[in-house]
Amino acid sequence: MIGRPMPARVRAAYRAEMRAARTATEPGARWRHLERAHIISQPWPWPHTANHFAMFTLAIRQHDRREALGQVVRMIVAAPGSALGRYPEGNTGRATVGMTQPMPIPADLAALLQTAGDAR
């Protein structure tokens, strides 16, 4: 993945999820959109790190210390993990989930990533 740009369709889906997270009025919906954006962004260092920063920001706004601390750690390891192709596929990126725990990828996101040439 090093140096490989995010395909346009994937980038559009990532941006749509990030936008939906910013505009959602219900905290649970914000987290769900950020989790989906996280799954999309995992193979690309910068978007992956930016997603964890957005999660950190939301955790701070919600006064969730545990989540905020978990996001600090994830911001540190996100870019190197993505650049080296070492990330747990499908992981939602939340502090409530183990950092190395792979998780099922929602079907629509798996199809998006597959058609983008990201072998899953």
In a domain, 102, yes or no: yes
Token pair 């899953």: residue: 120
Q: Once rounded to an integer, what is the mean pLDDT over residues 102-112? A: 96
Model confidence at 36: pLDDT above 70: yes
In a domain, 2, yes or no: no
In a domain, 120, yes or no: no
In a domain, 73, yes or no: yes
Model confidence at 21: pLDDT above 70: yes
Instruction: Decide: 14 and 37 in contact? Cβ < 8 Å.
Output: yes
Token pair 């990828």: residue: 105
In a domain, 1, yes or no: no
What one-character-per-residue DSSP string does 52-119 give?
Answer: HHHHHHHHHHTT-HHHHHHHHHHHHHHHHHHHTT-S-TT----TTS-TT---PPPHHHHHHHHHTT--
pLDDT of residue 2: 52
**pLDDT tens readout for residues 83-102:** 999 999 999 999 999 999 99
In a domain, 68, yes or no: yes
Q: Once rounded to an integer, what is the mean pLDDT over residues 44-51? A: 97
Q: Which phi and psi (to 5°) does residue 37 adopt?
A: -60, -35
Q: Which phi and psi (to 5°) does residue 13 adopt?
A: -65, -40
pTM confidence score: 0.92
Determine the structural domain holding residue 65 and report its residue range. Answer: 8-115
In a domain, 76, yes or no: yes
**Number of domains, the chain:** 1
Q: What sign does the dihedral 110-111-116-120 (CA atoms) show?
A: positive
In a domain, 52, yes or no: yes
Q: Which residues of 15-35 are buried (b: 16+ CB within 10 A; e: fewer)?
A: eebbebbeeeeeeeebbbbbb
